[in-house]
């Protein structure tokens, strides 16, 4: 049976763990050659080895997307070595939560740099290649998927700056979607709820304990659940555009 993404190339940021790694494997299983972009080369090499062992094609791209030149070079390398770029999944992100009054402004800067600037730099570098791919792809379409959060829909105490970044991702995604609609590049946003990843390990101890208490009776989403959402979006026929997908854990109320 023909795989739905056969002959295409996908780039996944934040691919060294969690949602990014799961998404890369899912897209590879559909036949896409995948470029794995993150800072942790050892993790990327391990994932690439697993994808190749399953018969897929994987390119390791070590880069810091908060540096515009690195982001641009990373995208350029993907196109040079894999020949094209049909799908981009902007997954890299940080979550630091704390009351505004005593939050670390360094944490704020880090979130703004990764969640906003990194996403912008990769998107800006990738869009010309996505436009070209949409013109000559047998599928007749290219895809850009931004991974946001329920925090892009629901503001809560202690998450103000994280909310700021994710509301921003949602607004940027919708505006870009409208720009690229006539050119057959679909732009989508996925808003995961509580996912069992290492993201919460970045939190300081007291905040982490509060989050763990809040979610202790909840069966959290798994990274593969969000990978499934991305896979669904990018494998639709060109007549179908899934602009937004909200995926919460079954017991999650916020």
Q: Which residues are catalytic?
A: 162
Tell me the CB-side half-sphere exposure of residue 162, using CA atoms within 13 A: 23
CB 81 within 8 A of CB 61: no
Please give the sequence-ordered ranges of beta strands (E in DSSP) within the chain, or none if there are none: 9-13, 33-38, 58-62, 87-90, 142-147, 185-192, 244-247
Residue 89 backbone dihedrals phi, psi, to 5 degrees:
-120, 105
Look at residues 34, 29, 33, 25 and name the one whose alpha carbon lies nearest to residue 3: 29
Given its phi and psi angles, is residue 55 left (phi above 0), alpha (psi -120 to 50 degrees) or beta? left
């Amino acid at each position: 049976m023909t795989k739905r993404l056969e002959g295409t190339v996908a780039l996944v940021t934040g691919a060294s763990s969690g949602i990014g790694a799961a998404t890369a494997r899912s897209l590879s299983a559909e036949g896409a050659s995948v470029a794995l972009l993150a800072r942790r080369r050892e993790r990327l090499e391990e994932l690439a080895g697993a994808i190749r062992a399953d018969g897929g094609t994987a390119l390791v791209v070590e880069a810091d997307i908060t540096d515009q030149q690195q982001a641009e070079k990373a995208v350029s390398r993907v196109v040079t070595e894999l020949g094209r770029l049909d799908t981009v999944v902007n997954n890299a992100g940080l979550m630091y939560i704390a009351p505004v009054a005593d939050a670390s402004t360094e944490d704020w800067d880090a979130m703004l740099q990764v969640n906003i600037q990194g996403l912008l730099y990769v998107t800006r570098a990738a869009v010309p290649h996505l436009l070209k791919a949409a013109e000559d792809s047998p599928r007749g379409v290219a895809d850009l998927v931004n991974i946001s959060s329920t925090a892009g829909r629901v503001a809560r105490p202690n998450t103000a700056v994280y909310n700021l970044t994710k509301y921003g991702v949602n607004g940027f995604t919708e505006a870009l979607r409208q720009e690229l609609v006539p050119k057959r590049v679909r732009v989508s946003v996925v808003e995961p709820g509580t996912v069992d990843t290492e993201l919460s390990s970045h939190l300081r101890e007291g905040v982490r304990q509060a989050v763990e208490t809040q979610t202790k009776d909840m069966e959290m989403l798994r990274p593969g659940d969000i990978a499934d959402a991305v896979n669904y979006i990018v494998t639709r026929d060109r007549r179908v555009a899934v602009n937004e997908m909200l995926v919460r854990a079954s017991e999650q109320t916020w």
